[in-house]
Amino acid sequence: MNQHDIFDSLARNAFDFLGRAIDDFDKAPKYSVIHFCAAVEMLLKARLMMEHWSLIVSKPEQANLAKFMAGDFASVTMDEARSRIRDIAGEEIADDAFNSFRTLANHRNKMIHFFHADVEKMTAKAKIVAEHCRSWFHLHRLLNRWERYFRDFRDDIAQADRAMKAHRKYLSAKYKALKPDLDAARKAGNKPKACSACGFKAAVPDALDDQIASLRCLVCDHTEIQFEIDCPHCNQPIVIANEGYATCEHCAAAIDSDDLADALANHDAVHMAIADGDDRWEPANCASCDGYHTVVKRGDIYFCANCFDWTDHVERCEWCNEPNTGDMEHSYFAGCCVCDGKAGWEKDD
């Protein structure tokens, strides 16, 4: 078996566990929690596998290929997998995504260590399905981001997505019970929108400004940022949810964070500011996602069109003078997300 074969069998196994977790949910909710979590862990490991097999081993410096192939090794924890994906593959798994996986893992640990007689109850089941919905939402996005590795599993991903949509029926009782709260939100002018994780119209918006809203789903607790723009390709209105790229539902064109930054920028204010020598409207760099010029000023907030993080101020890097979100206190020496500061300049010298 070479690296590719091991990746393949790991990913295949993960989709098998995921399918089982969803199919067997009604009969065996406890095993569903365990299997779903195992699938998430396996897919994170499969991603690490594409860097090097030894990264799946908890102590890579002691990794031994013969033992590895024999299954005789301690494997990485979910937290270790996340930091290795960040430090070695250079890809960040955002807090909201990782927290959804961690909730799943904590629940799994409880299931393994303590006997829970009440897991068959409807409320316990709804809680599990809500966790599954949030985790699948984030996992699905990671798999799309890692499309170049998971290309051969396109059908498995689509199949899992269909199964998850059916799985949501366990939340309909909760959705119905929430009707008074949703009606109250509607009356208060916060009309609930469709949640990207569970599909129910239960995501209650809290406006950040006149265009951007942060939403919290009352059914599954998923949170996301949403706003509507006119597609830069076909001019039809589209909803952008939670991330800096999308495919237009009308014309199928790809929309990236540059398009979003352009759509969200207040062009009149920018032109006026340039004429007045006011530099506060210049596009800034994002300390959360390292986005270059992805942060636009909108009234009182600065919003990143790539990772949807927002802050109330930006600071200039003391070395390169670029505006950035995040703390610029040591930037003269250490630089910012686009420069290496004095330290980097001296090293190049």
> What are the CA-CA distances from residue 27 to residues 30, 120, 313 (Å)?
9, 9, 52
Running DSSP on this structure, what letter comes out for residue 153? G
In the complex with Zn ion, which residue's Cβ is closer, 32 or 306?
306
The one-character DSSP state at 60 is G
Nearer to Zn ion, 31 or 345 (CB): 345
CB atoms within 10 A of CB 16: 14
| Residue nearer to Zn ion on the CB measure, 46 or 305 | 305
SS3 label, residue 123:
helix
- Which tokens in the block code for residue 313? 């101020």
Please, what is the minimum distance in Å from the beta carbon of residue 116 to Zn ion?
24
What tokens were used for 274?
A: 């340039």
Give dist(CA 56, CA 65) in Å, integer.
12
The type of residue at 108 is R
CB nearer to Zn ion: give 80 or 318: 318
- Cβ proximity to Zn ion: between 32 and 324 the closer is 324
Please, what is the minimum distance in Å from the beta carbon of residue 247 to Zn ion?
9
> For Zn ion, which is the closer residue by CB, 219 or 261?
219
In the bound state with Zn ion, the residue whose beta carbon lies nearer, of 29 and 291, is 291
Q: What is the DSSP string of 243-268?
A: SS-EE-TTT--EE-HHHHHHHHS-HH
Buried residues in 48-80 as b, exposed as e (16+ CB within 10 A):
bbbeebbbbbeeeeebeeeebeeeebeebebee
Contact yes or no for 234/250 (Cβ under 8 A): yes
Nearer to Zn ion by Cβ, of 205 and 291: the residue is 291
**How far apart are CB 248 and Zn ion at their closest, in Å?**
3
Residue ranges that bind Zn ion, judged by CB under 5 A: 195, 197-198, 217, 219-220, 222, 231, 233-234, 248, 250-251, 286, 288-289, 291, 304, 306-307, 309, 317, 319-320, 335-336, 339
Q: Euclidean distance between the first and final Cα of the chain, in Å? A: 46
CA-CA distances (angstroms) from residue 98 to 49, 74, 94, 134, 136?
Answer: 19, 22, 6, 10, 11
The structure tokens 């597609």 sit at 231
Q: 3-class SS at 177? A: helix
Nearest to 175 by CA among 195, 200, 198: 200
Q: What are the helix (H) ranges across 24-63?
A: 29-49
Nearer to Zn ion, 140 or 233 (CB): 233
At closest approach, how far in Å is the CB of 139 from Zn ion?
15
